[in-house]
Amino acid sequence: MKKRTQKMAALLATVSIGAFAISSAGMAETLQDVMKRRGLSENDIMAAAKTYTPTGKHDEFLVFSSGGQSGQVIVYGIPSMRILKYIGVFTPEPWQGYGFDDESRKVLQEGSKVDGREVLFGDTHHPSISETNGDTDGQFLFINDKNTPRIAVIDLKDFETKQIVKNPIMQSDHGGAFVSPNSEYVIEASQYPAPLGGEYVPIEQFNEKYRGAVTYWKFNRTKGRIEPENSFSIELPPYSQDLSDFGKGPSDGWSFTNSFCAERYVGGIERGRPPFEAGCSAKDVDFLHVVNWKKAEELVKAGKTKTISGMKVLPLDVAAKEGVLFLIPEPKSPHGADVTPDGKYIIVSGKLDTHATVYSFEKIQAAIKAGKFSGKDEYGVPIIDLGASVHKQVELGLGPLHTQYDSKACIAYTSIYVDSQVTKWDYCEGKVLDKLSVHYNIGHLMAMEGDTAHPKGKYLVALNKLAIDRFAPVGPLHPQNHQLIDISGDKMQLLYDMPLPLGEPHYAVSISTDRLKPSIRYPSGTNSRTDEKSPFGVRAGSEHTDTKPGRVEVFGTVIRSHITPEIIEANEGDEIVIHLTNLERAEDETHGFAVSKHNVNLSLEPGKTVSATFKANKAGVYPYYCTEFCSALHLEMEGYLLVKPANYKASTAKGKAGSSYTKADYDARVKANVETQGVIDSVVGYITSVNYKDFPQAVALVEDATDQLGFAKSAKEKSEDFAKKQDWNNAMLWAEQWFQYQVKTADIGLRAKTHLEQNGAKKVQK
Ligand code: CUK
Ligand code: CUA
């Protein structure tokens, strides 16, 4: 017993000598020595200095990267390139309990149940942050799934997926998710043409019956959800629509979607036909779709739509006739359509052309007004003359793809796929300014807030398709490679290679960290997936279990370091429903909950209520436990699910669980507790002797410690009650529980003390 108290004092001592220990270590090597030993140049040291982020310092920008086929979103910081989080979106993610608790499974299943099948992966391509006046506002994140056309809504208050909407008319998508300047709509354009609504039509009727489409999903910002009933689509010709962008400023109210395979070619290698790749690139031009979505919105309101699979669709002939849809030729198999920050131009690059084409919105409007069309396509859509709408065409390199913008006017960066380069150029003047080689085969690239009305410049990330020789080999499947580039000067400088172990990420978006205001806890008893109070949340002391034939329903809680209840009894074949509420208020005090040999793994962040429903299909003894190392007695945060066989008769055999204790045990425990209280008092003495109230982090820790001390007090009272009744067993056990709360108090107190010492707390006059 004495030993534990001594340990506590030793712990306290290490806190005060820690600073000395650090300064005495590592004196031998100089910076030059390290450079020599590791073969680093001065340039390397400069790059390191520009990215290295010391302990405790935060990144200037956060990046939300597509996680590709992993169906997740990857969150990392810039300039450190440290990964902060994977957000489960279209795929179950066990650590966050995503797809394992009933609440999140509902979100996932709403999006993953497709015609009776369950699709548990997503090919994520384009994330997009909600915008206000064309600038990212940090409230919501959207991302599309190319394979099973869907859009997910992630709330950036807690970085959780809240909603997945399936596109009922498309069979694949690509041109999403991108938001209108005030996030009224999230756009999703189809990729591979197919009959709208998913019916079967022979491929020979491709031109007649196969179609593309673009969907405008109505976003309700107050609710934080997409409203399918207020969303609409526009039917498009069966060209392979590719990427979309919304206009802003002068071009607000319009959207732009490029396409490839305007040839409408259908391959069939096995039938002796040349492959898709030949037929889809045979002609010199494809079409940029120019859409007046505000006008489309009016026509939808006026009832000019047909309904396909519950979706309001503006028919192609109506869109063509009513001035909603126009086409402009674009050179050879383009990829990317990126509106400039001022909304005056749209840049489209041809994958098989060395040029980027800068379209002028003003010229496009003039041509439309004058009715100057070079003709119509087979579906009656007016075609605007390329020459009449182009501002500049600039030769950028082999295989230009995507474009991002700088904080400096007229400056753009375009990824050059075949040359594996980034080209920096001036789209106003049509001049190339700089080129930087990257490794290898860059797809998208991303500048800080580089697709908004006010890009921040500073850094650029190249999202490379291959990693080949960049990292230590880890088998035939290589990591992805995101390369950080400094764009603050005239010349671009490569700073850092980050391997990403999830892929393939296509696009990423960034935001100034200070624009994000995520919460650190939920109001107690919250269903985080609906943002509402859970009907299953309970407060401390009102935990209970409802048992009915065939069903056991538990309303429990978790808090350092126990789960209530600790024993759950059921019969073989019962349905078990466990609702748990995390009673913690303290930051980062997440508990987990897993049940032996069952597919149950929950994550309970402070305040959250989650539920698990499963079948106890086999009799046995199943330990359950907390999966997060939450406190010194984390391993003891455990319990038993006892599943009795059918027709089980209670055994008459005598049995015993645990040890028994005497008055001497109790007295020794109490004595040790009193000494521990002395340690706690000294920590409290230090904290209250300084200006801790000026440190919000310390204030939060002190609040938590006060909570724990309150629990210690009530355990102490219980032990004293039992002592009065001379029930030494219970008296001793409650005295031990009293000690456990003291340990938690001391642990938190020491954290506060360390924080205050490291952040220069000052003595105050009492
Ligand atoms: S895409 Cu993959 S590199 Cu889906 Cu935006 Cu261009
Ligand atoms: Cu709670 Cu470990």
Amino acid 181: pLDDT: 98
Alpha helices (H) along 25-123: 31-38, 42-51, 102-112
Q: Does 372 lie in the same domain as 391?
A: yes
Q: Residues 474, 446: one domain?
A: yes
DSSP state of 324: S
User: In b/e form, how buried is each residue of 252-284, taking b as 16+ CB within 10 angstroms?
Assistant: bbbbbbbbbbbbbbbeeeeeeeeebeebbbeee
Who lines ligand 1 at CB under 6 A?
Answer: 125-126, 174, 243, 335, 401-402, 443-444, 506-507
pLDDT score of 16 more than 70: no
- Ligand with minimal distance to 145 CA: 1
Region for residue 515 given its phi and psi (left: phi exceeds 0; alpha: psi -120 to 50; beta: otherwise): alpha
Average pLDDT over residues 201-219: 98
Closest residue (by CA) to atom 1 of ligand 1? 506
What are the tens digits of pLDDT across the range 468-514? Answer: 999 999 999 999 999 999 999 999 999 999 999 998 999 999 999 99
pLDDT at 50 over 70: yes
Task: Determine the distance separating the centroid of ligand 1 and the alpha carbon of 587, expressed in angstroms.
Answer: 38
Q: How far apart are CA 596 and CA 586, in angstroms?
A: 28
The ligand minimizing its distance to the Cα of 503 is 1
Query: Does 572 share its domain with 636?
Result: yes
pLDDT at 28: 86
Q: State how far the Cα of 350 lies from the Cα of 399, in Å rounded to an integer.
A: 7
Q: Last residue of a domain, which of 515, 534, 552?
A: 515
- What CA–CA distance (Å, rounded) separates 721 from 734? 10
Q: Please tell me the distance between residue 627's alpha carbon and the centre of ligand 2 in angstroms.
A: 6
What local confidence, expressed as pLDDT, does residue 26 receive? 52
Reduced to 3 states (helix: H, G, I; strand: E, B; else coil), residue 8 is helix
CA distance 365 to 173: 28
- Predicted local confidence at residue 655, as pLDDT: 83
Contact (CB, 8 A) for 219 and 165: no
Q: Is 658 exposed, middle or buried (0-12, 13-18, 19+ CB in 10 A)?
A: exposed
Residue 621 lies in a domain: yes
CA–CA gap between residue 692 and residue 764 (Å, rounded): 9
| Position 64 confidence tier, pLDDT thresholds 50, 70, 90 | very high
**Does the CB atom of residue 630 touch ligand 2 within 6 A?**
yes
Residues 707 and 562 in one domain: no
What is the secondary structure of 415-443 as a DSSP string? Answer: EETTTTEEEEEETTTTEEEEEEE-SS-EE
Provide the terminal-to-terminal Cα distance of the chain, rounded to the nearest Å.
35
**Is the same domain home to 628 and 687?**
no
The answer to whether residue 190 scores a pLDDT higher than 90 is yes
> At a CB cut-off of 8 Å and minimum separation 6, what does 480 contact?
68, 463, 464, 467, 499, 500, 501, 502, 503, 504, 505
Predicted confidence band of residue 195 (pLDDT cuts 50, 70, 90): very high
Taking the C-alpha atoms of residue 233 and residue 216, their distance in angstroms, rounded to an integer, is: 6
Among 59-63, 154-158, 299-303, 687-691, where is mean pLDDT lowest? 687-691
DSSP structure string for 223-284: TTEEEEEEEEEEEE-SSEEEEEEE--GGGTTEEEEEEE-TT-----GGGTPPPHHHHTTSSS
Neighbours of 25 (CB within 10 A): 7
**In-domain check, residue 730:** yes
Cα 66 to Cα 577, 650, 733: the distances in Å are 34, 56, 52
Is the residue at 97 inside a domain?
no
Pairing type for strands 508-512 and 61-66 reads: antiparallel
Asked if residue 745 is part of any domain, the answer here is yes
CA distance 595 to 618: 13
Percent of the chain beyond pLDDT 90?
A: 86
State the DSSP string of 469-513.
TSS---SSSPPEEEEEEE-SSSS-EEEEEEEESS-----EEEEEG
> What is the number of domains present in the chain?
4
Same domain, 475 and 555: no
589 C-alpha to center of ligand 2: Å?
Answer: 8
* Chain centroid to CA 307: 33
- Cβ atoms 173, 144 nearer than 8 A: yes
Which ligand 1 atom is nearest residue 146's CA?
Answer: 4
Query: What's the domain range around 564?
Result: 526-644
Ramachandran angles phi, psi of 20, nearest 5° = -65, -45
CA 488 to each of CA 50, 406, 444: distance values in angstroms, whole numbers, following the listed order: 11, 9, 20
* 356 Cα–ligand 1 center, Å: 16
Q: Take atom 1 of ligand 2 and give the residue whose Cα is closest.
A: 591
Task: Express each pLDDT in 105-133 by its tens digit.
Answer: 999 999 999 999 999 999 999 999 999 99
CA 378 to chain centre: 42
Answer whether residue 588 is part of any domain: yes
Atom of ligand 1 nearest to the CA of 417: 3
Q: Please check the confidence at residue 47 and state whether its pLDDT lies above 50.
A: yes
Report whether the peptide linkage leading into residue 605 is cis, meaning its omega lies within 30 degrees of zero. Answer: no
If asked whether residues 215 and 287 sit together in one domain, one would say yes
Spatial separation of the C-alpha atoms in residues 289 and 307, rounded to whole Å: 23
pLDDT for res 15: 42
Q: How far is the CA of 625 from the centre of ligand 2 (A)?
A: 8
Note whether residue 96 is domain-resident: no
| CA nearest neighbour of 450 among 340, 337, 335 | 340
Closest-CA residue to 251 (of 368, 408, 365, 136): 365
For 211-236, what is each residue's pLDDT tens digit? 999 999 999 999 999 999 999 999 99
DSSP state of 183: S
HSE, CB side, 13 Å, CA atoms: give it for residue 172: 15
What is the number of other CB atoms lying within 10 angstroms of the CB of residue 141?
26
Distance CA 628, CA 434 (A): 49
- Using CA atoms, how far apart are residues 428 and 667, in angstroms rounded to an integer? 84
Tokens for 122, please give them: 């997503």
Atom of ligand 2 nearest to the CA of 589: 1
Ligand nearest to the CA of 504: 1
Structure tokens at 707: 């909570």
563 CA → ligand 2 middle, Å: 9
320 and 387 share one domain: yes
Contact predicate 254/329, CB 8 Å: no
Q: Is the pLDDT of residue 715 over 70?
A: yes
What Rg do the C-alpha atoms of the chain give, in angstroms?
A: 31
Q: Which ligand is nearest to the CA of 635?
A: 2
**pLDDT at residue 110, rounded to an integer:** 93
Q: Does 19 score more than 60 pLDDT? A: no
What is the atom index within ligand 1 of the atom nearest the CA of 174?
A: 4
d(CA 401, CA 444): 7
pLDDT at 11 over 90: no
List pLDDT tens digits, range 532-556: 999 999 988 899 999 999 999 999 9
Minimum CA distance residue for ligand 1 atom 2 = 506
Mean pLDDT of the chain: 94
Q: Which conformational region is residue 571 in: left (phi greater than 0), alpha (psi within -120 to 50 degrees), or beta?
A: beta
- Does 634 sit in the ligand 2 pocket, CB within 6 Å? yes
Q: Identify which of 558, 511, 528, 628 has the alpha carbon closest to the alpha carbon of residue 158.
A: 528
For residue 553, CA distances in Å to 287, 580, 618, 625 come to: 59, 11, 18, 18
Q: Is 652 within the bounds of a domain? A: no
- The closest-lying atom of ligand 2 relative to the alpha carbon of residue 590 is 1
Task: Return the number of other C-beta atoms located less than 10 Å from residue 176's C-beta.
Answer: 31
Q: For the domain that residue 538 is a member of, what is the CATH number?
A: 2.60.40.420
- State yes or no: pLDDT of 201 exceeds 90: yes
Q: Where are the beta strands (DSSP E) in 69-180?
A: 72-78, 83-88, 113-114, 117-118, 124-132, 135-145, 150-155, 160-166, 178-179
Asked if 457 and 578 sit in the same domain, the reply is no
Judged against a pLDDT cut of 50, whether residue 22 lies above it is answered with no
Domain match, 297 and 333 both: yes
User: For residue 593, how far is its CA from the centre of ligand 2 (angstroms)?
Assistant: 8
pLDDT at residue 1, rounded to an integer: 42
CATH number at residue 415: 2.130.10.10
126-146 tens-digit pLDDT: 999 999 999 999 999 999 999
pLDDT in tens, 332-385: 889 999 999 999 999 999 888 899 999 999 999 999 999 989 999 999 999 999
3-state secondary structure of 90: coil
Looking at 644, 675, 708, which one is the last position of a domain?
A: 644
User: Residue 353 falls within a domain, yes or no?
Assistant: yes
Per-residue pLDDT, averaged over 299-308, amounts to 97
Residue that terminates a domain, selected from 466, 495, 515:
515
Q: What φ, ψ does residue 686 adopt, rounded to 5°?
A: -65, -50
- The encoded tokens of residue 623 equal 């330990």
Q: CA 179, CA 244: separation in Å to the nearest integer?
A: 10
Distance 512 CA to ligand 1 centre (A): 24
**What is the tens place of the pLDDT at every residue in 230-283?**
999 999 999 999 999 999 999 999 999 999 999 999 999 999 999 999 999 999
619 and 496 belong to one structural domain: no
Q: Which atom of ligand 2 is nearest to the CA of 626?
A: 2
The encoded tokens of residue 204 equal 């020979």
Do 149 and 290 lie in a common domain?
A: yes
Eight-state DSSP code of residue 184: S
Q: Which of 338, 402, 404, 440 gets mutated to test ligand 1 (max ligand atoms within 8 A of its CB)?
A: 402
